[in-house]
Amino acid sequence: MSEEEWDFEHQQVCGFILQYVEDNVYNHIANKTHARTLWEKIESLYAFKFGNNKLYLLNYLMNLRYKENSSISYHLNEFQGLLDQLPGMGIKFDDEVMGLWPLNTLPES
């Protein structure tokens, strides 16, 4: 492929990814037009390698609540995505806690 075609492909990929990021992340990556630099920026924002990031993830998980009138599957996918990051950070919880935790994110109703 020509350089021009590669640039177009990178712009397409970046545009696709930008559709699915939250507003607070979008502000950090909106100017990226190369897929590699975009990915590296996202990785630096979400790579949970340090203590502060562990604290952030745990805090986010502890405060995650189901939003009324939204999709329960979206909520559970968000929850599971966060849980999937725990082992990579060296955090492990008892199976019973892991089973009860999602129930705590649901409203009383």
Across the chain, which has 109 residues, the per-10-residue mean pLDDT values are: 89 88 80 86 68 80 90 88 83 89 88
Q: What is the pLDDT of residues 14-37, one digit of tens each?
A: 888 888 887 777 878 888 888 888
Structure confidence at residue 83 (pLDDT): 86
Hey, where are the domains in the chain?
A: 3-46, 51-104
Structure confidence at residue 82 (pLDDT): 85
Query: What is the model's pTM?
Result: 0.52
What is the DSSP secondary-structure string of the chain?
A: --HHHHHHHHHHHHHHHHTTS-HHHHHHHTT--SHHHHHHHHHHHH---SHHHHHHHHHHHHH--PPTTS-HHHHHHHHHHHHHHTGGGT----HHHHHHHHHHTS---
